[in-house]
Amino acid sequence: MEKKYEILNIDETEYRTQISDSFKKRKNWQRPDESKIYSFIPGTIQDIAVKKGSNVEEGDELLILEAMKMRNKIKAPMSGKIKSILVKENEIIPKNHLIIEFE
């Protein structure tokens, strides 16, 4: 297989070298957005207790994320109004999937 050399910058020096796929595909880090709730584990959505437009208090139960035979309560991380709910009941979602967005 023909080697493909590209440029990798380390401490302001540009090295000619082969670059791994995982390095090329890495995602740039982004500051977490606190108004968005993501799944912390893959699982199934159940018992959605809020609607779009609901006002909730910090700690209120929003829905159940059932995973590994455990019914995980997903609670509001802050008080506020629900902007959108991006999942349906019985939906199977992966990890880091956007579930609920606050206004």
Residues that bind other proteins (CB under 8 A): 3, 5, 8, 10-20, 23, 26-29, 42-43, 67-68, 92, 94
d(CA 32, CA 30): 6
The C-alpha atoms of residue 12 and residue 96 are separated, in whole angstroms, by 34
Provide the minimum distance between the beta carbon of 6 and other proteins in the complex, in angstroms, as a whole number: 10
In angstroms, give the least distance from the CB of 11 to other proteins. Answer: 4
> Could you tell me which residues come within 8 angstroms of residue 20 by beta carbon, excluding any fewer than 6 positions away?
none
Q: Give the shortest CB-69-to-other proteins separation in angstroms.
A: 10
- Closer to other proteins by CB, 18 or 51: give it: 18
